[in-house]
Structure 1
Amino acid sequence: MVNPERDIQPFVVNLTGINSNMLKNAPKFYEIAKRIIEITEDCIIVAHNSEFDYRILRTEFNRLGYDYKRKTLCTVELSKDLIPDQPSYSLGKLVRSLGIPVTDRHRANGDALATVKLFKLLQTKDTTKKIIQSSIKEGQKRNKIDNKLIDIIEPLPTITGVYYIQKKGGDIIYIGKSRNIKRRVNQHFTATDTKSKKIQLHVSAVSYEETGSELVALLKENEEIKRLKPIYNRARKRTHFTHALYAFKDKNGYINLKIDVADGRKHPITTFSNKQSAKHFIEHHVEAYNFCLQLTGLGATNSEKPCFNHSLKTCHGACIKEESAAEYNLRVQELIDKNSYAHKNMIIVDRGRDIDERSAIYIKNGQFEGLGFFNLNFQINNISVLESIITKMENNRDTQHIIQSYLRSHKKIKIIQLPS
Structure 2
Amino acid sequence: MHETDWGALAQLWLDRLADCSEPGPGVTRLPFTPEHRAALAVLTELMEHAGLAVRLDDAGTLIGRRDGPDGAPALLMGSHQDSVREGGAYDGIMGVVLPILALMKLNADGLKLPFPVEVLAFADEEGVRFPTALMGPRALAGTFDMAALNLRDRDGITLRKAMEDFGLNPSALPDLKRNPKQILGWIELHLEQGPVLETANQHIGIVTAICGIERHIVTLTGKATHAGTVPMEMRRDALVGAAELTLATEALARQTEGLLATVGALQVRPGVVNAVPGSVTLTLELRASEDTLRECAGTKLTIIARDIAERRALEIEIIRTYAQSATRCEPQMIARLTRAANGERNHHPLHLASGATHDTSAMASLCPVGMLFTTCRDGLSHHPDEHVTKAAMSSAIMTLTRFLTEFHSGSFSQI
Q: Same fold (TM over 0.5)?
A: no
Bigger helix share? 1
TM bucket (normalised to shorter chain) is under 0.3
Tell me which of the two structures has the higher relative contact order, counting C-alpha pairs closer than 8 angstroms and 6 or more residues apart.
Answer: 2
Higher strand fraction (1 or 2):
2
The structure with the larger Rg is: 1
